[in-house]
């Protein structure tokens, strides 16, 4: 993870270099300072020893003779101004502790305060005359001038070294930035491009030998990654296409199996029903025909009842015929011309009971009763029954319930419009309604195969089944070739 708060590599290396140099200078300077202070202490000891020998000889006679003038002259001469090492305080006493002379370089101070100052050493010198102690001289000697001179030079050296370090830091920062940071930034930019799947080759010039090797390795790695990504995408696309193809085949086979099983079951039932009903219907029709021949001798209301019975027999026959046709798999039938009016009458008879049971108004509009289309009549009947059945389920709970089937012809095509009183299908479901196994009905109320199978049937007829989004009501439209 990138941390933008961290200083750059050039800054860190420069700071490290300057810190190393500064630390080294501090250590060296400390050692030099301690060495000079130690040397100053030894030098002060030697000077104090020499002064002590001189003082011991110089003050012996004046103290013996009690020559105050001579004592003052010698004392003042010893306190003369010196540059580096000098006597800072002097006190001359007799053996009876009588002070004969006391003076310091600082006229505002006394001997004891002067003797306690830094860089100052003291010594008490006993004065003898013929092996007899005649007095004592206290001497305070300092090398403060020596230390001060060194300190002034040291401060100048530190200032110079600070300026030099600033210059060195600038030069080091420039050099490190040019020779390391800038090349590394270029290499990092290349790495970021690879992370973003940009595998463009970057030929970076003027790189150090080690970084140039890294750059070449990155280019090679980017080339290998790009090739592998392309291979993976190629194989992935092939695999996706294969999976989609196999899935579509499986779904199609499942739909065909389900549809075949359903049609087979319904077909068997329809055949059984037709067989069981046809015989009684034939008997009823024969007896009605006999009564019809005797119609002249029968009352008018009985004659009317006979006509009604014959009409119902014909109606039941048509229903059985339509049921047998609907339940039959018409996939193998040839594409032939068929009467649209007749086909829709058969469909209307099949759905009439369901429509009436839900109190739905059902209208059929065919401007040309002689209009014919080319196709498999059984399969087109199945499509219409399925769409009308869906419409019945959709409008059951609405107040004003109606369904309308309208047929129009244009050029060489016949258009079938199945419209109901619903207000349309929600946009998020419009793209899914034609998918296999998709249904909005409750559990055990639909398989989600009706519209998908109907769409396949119409497409096998070189037609097109679609939901009309522009209609204010729910409307499905499909086309067939006109005969």
Q: For residue range 4-16, list pLDDT tens digits in order.
A: 566 666 667 777 7
* Predicted confidence (pLDDT) per residue in 411-429, tens digit: 899 999 999 998 888 887 7
For residue 479, name the pLDDT band (cuts at 50, 70, 90): very high
| Cβ–Cβ under 8 Å, residues 85 and 47 | yes
- Pick from 28, 47, 30, 27: which is nearest to 119 by CA? 47
Three-class SS state of 422: coil
The answer to whether residue 218 sits within a structural domain is: yes
pLDDT at 372: 93
User: Of 299 and 137, which is predicted with more confidence?
Assistant: 137
Domain span at 320: 199-329
Q: Please check whether residues 14 and 155 belong to one and the same domain.
A: yes
Q: Say if 351 falls within a structural domain.
A: yes
The per-residue pLDDT for 420 is 93
419: burial class by Cβ within 10 Å (0-12, 13-18, 19+)? buried
- How many percent of the chain have pLDDT more than 90? 13
CB 138 within 8 A of CB 84: no
Residues 220 and 306 in one domain: yes
Domain boundary among 304, 329, 354: 329
Domain assignment present for 245? yes
Do the domain assignments include residue 176? Answer: no
User: With 50 as the cut, is the pLDDT of residue 187 above it?
Assistant: yes
H or E stretch covering 455: helix 450-460
Is 50 exceeded by the pLDDT of residue 299?
yes
Could you tell me if residue 33 is inside a domain? yes
Torsion, Cα of 181, 182, 185, 187 (10° steps): -110
Q: Are residues 324 and 384 in the same domain?
A: no
Q: How many CB atoms lie within 10 A of CB 240?
A: 10
pLDDT value of residue 480? 94
* pLDDT reported for residue 268: 61
> Do 223 and 88 lie in a common domain?
no
**Residue for token digits 């030894």?**
42
- Per the structure, how many domains does the chain have? 3
Whole-number pLDDT of residue 1: 44
Q: Are residues 344 and 285 in the same domain?
A: no
Does residue 1 fall inside a structural domain? no
Q: What is the pLDDT of residue 173?
A: 77
Q: Would residue 104 count as lying in a domain?
A: yes
Backbone angles phi, psi at 362, to 5 degrees: -120, 120
Decide: helix, strand or coil at residue 478: strand
Tens of pLDDT, residues 321-352: 655 555 555 566 788 999 999 889 888 887 88
Task: Indicate if 45 and 132 belong to the same structural domain.
Answer: yes
CATH for 429: 3.30.565.10
Residues 96/66, Cβ–Cβ less than 8 Å: no
Judgement on whether residues 36 and 148 belong to the same structural domain of the protein: yes
Q: Are residues 150 and 213 in the same domain?
A: no
φ, ψ of residue 408 in degrees (nearest 5): -135, 155
Residue range 188-213, pLDDT digits in tens: 787 887 777 776 777 777 777 777 77
What is the arithmetic mean of pLDDT over 134-163?
85
Q: Cα separation of 235 and 233, whole Å?
A: 6
Number of neighbours of residue 93 by Cβ within 10 angstroms? 18
Looking at residue 445, what is its pLDDT? 46
Proportion of the chain in helix, strand, coil states, percent, rounded to 5: 60, 15, 25
Residues 323 and 335 in one domain: no
Question: Residue written as tokens 């089937």?
Answer: 405
Other Cβ atoms within 10 Å of 210 Cβ, number: 9
Inter-residue contact 119 to 142 (CB < 8 Å): yes
Tokens of 76: 């003042």
> Using CA atoms, how far apart are residues 369 and 340, in angstroms rounded to an integer?
8
Of 329, 344, 365, the residue that ends a domain is 329
Question: Is 394 a domain residue?
Answer: yes
Q: Worst-scoring range by mean pLDDT, 13-22, 26-35, 48-57, 93-102?
A: 13-22
User: What digits encode the pLDDT tens for the residues 347-398?
Assistant: 888 788 888 888 999 999 998 889 999 998 888 888 898 889 888 988 888 8
Give dist(CA 123, CA 51) in Å, integer. Answer: 10
The fraction of the chain above a pLDDT of 70, given in percent, is 78
The 10 Å Cβ neighbour count of residue 92 is: 26
Rounded average pLDDT over 242-270: 69
> Which of 149, 168, 187 delimits the end of a domain?
168
Between CA 224 and CA 56 the distance in angstroms is 96
In this predicted structure, the answer to whether residue 437 has a pLDDT above a threshold of 60 is no
- Same domain for 32 and 158, yes or no, is yes
Tens digit of pLDDT for each residue in 74-89?
A: 888 888 666 778 888 8
Distance of CA 315 to CAs 310, 318, 350, Å?
Answer: 9, 5, 11
Question: Which residues contact residue 307 at a Cβ distance below 8 angstroms, ignoring those fewer than 6 apart?
Answer: none
pLDDT > 60? residue 184: yes
Q: Which H or E run contains 232?
A: helix 209-293
Q: How far, in whole angstroms, is CA 183 from its chain's centroid?
A: 29
Q: Do residues 389 and 305 share a domain?
A: no
* Residues 241, 156 within the same domain: no
């Amino acid at each position: 993870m990138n941390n933008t708060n961290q200083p750059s590599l050039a800054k860190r290396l420069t700071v490290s270099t300057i810190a190393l140099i500064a630390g080294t200078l501090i250590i060296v300077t400390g050692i030099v300072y301690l060495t000079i202070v130690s040397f100053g202490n030894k030098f002060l000891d030697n000077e104090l020893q020499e002064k002590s020998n001189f003082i011991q000889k110089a003050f012996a006679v004046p103290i013996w003779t009690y020559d105050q003038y001579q004592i003052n002259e010698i004392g003042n001469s010893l306190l003369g101004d010196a540059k580096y090492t000098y006597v800072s305080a002097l006190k001359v006493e007799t053996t009876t502790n009588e002070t004969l002379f006391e003076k310091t370089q600082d006229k505002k101070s006394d001997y004891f305060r002067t003797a306690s100052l830094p860089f100052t050493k003291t010594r008490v010198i006993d004065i003898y005359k013929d092996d007899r102690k005649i007095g004592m001289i206290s001497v305070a000697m300092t090398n403060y001038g020596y230390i001060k001179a060194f300190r002034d030079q040291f401060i100048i050296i530190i200032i110079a070294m600070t300026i030099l370090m600033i210059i060195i830091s600038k030069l080091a920062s420039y050099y490190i930035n040019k020779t390391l940071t800038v090349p590394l930034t270029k290499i990092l930019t290349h790495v970021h491009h690879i992370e973003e799947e940009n595998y463009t080759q970057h030929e970076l010039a003027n790189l150090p030998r080690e970084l140039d090797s890294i750059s070449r390795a990155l280019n090679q790695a980017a080339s290998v990654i790009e090739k592998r990504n392309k291979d993976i995408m190629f194989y992935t696309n092939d695999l996706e296409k294969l999976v989609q193809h196999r899935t579509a085949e499986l779904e199609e086979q499942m739909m065909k199996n389900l549809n075949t099983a359903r049609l087979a079951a319904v077909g068997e039932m329809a055949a059984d029903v037709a067989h069981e009903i046809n015989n009684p219907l034939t008997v009823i029709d024969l007896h009605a025909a006999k009564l019809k021949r005797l119609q002249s001798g029968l009352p008018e209301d009985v004659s009317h009842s006979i006509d009604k019975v014959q009409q119902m027999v014909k109606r039941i026959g048509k229903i059985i015929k339509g049921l047998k046709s609907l339940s039959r798999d018409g996939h193998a039938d040839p594409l032939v011309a068929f009467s649209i009016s007749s086909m829709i009458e058969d469909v209307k008879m099949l759905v009439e009971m369901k429509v009436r049971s839900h109190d739905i108004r059902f209208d059929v509009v065919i401007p040309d009763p002689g209009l014919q289309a080319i196709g498999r009549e059984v399969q087109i009947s199945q499509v219409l029954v399925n769409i009308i059945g869906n419409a019945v389920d959709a409008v059951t709970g609405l107040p004003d319930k109606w369904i309308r089937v309208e047929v129009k012809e244009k050029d060489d095509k016949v258009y079938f419009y199945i419209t109901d009183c619903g207000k349309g299908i929600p946009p998020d479901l419009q793209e899914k309604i034609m998918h296999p196994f998709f249904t909005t009905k409750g559990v055990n109320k639909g398989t989600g195969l009706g519209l998908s199978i109907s769409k396949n049937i119409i497409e096998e007829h070189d037609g097109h089944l679609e939901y009309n989004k522009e209609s204010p009501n729910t409307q499905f439209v499909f086309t067939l070739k006109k005969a």
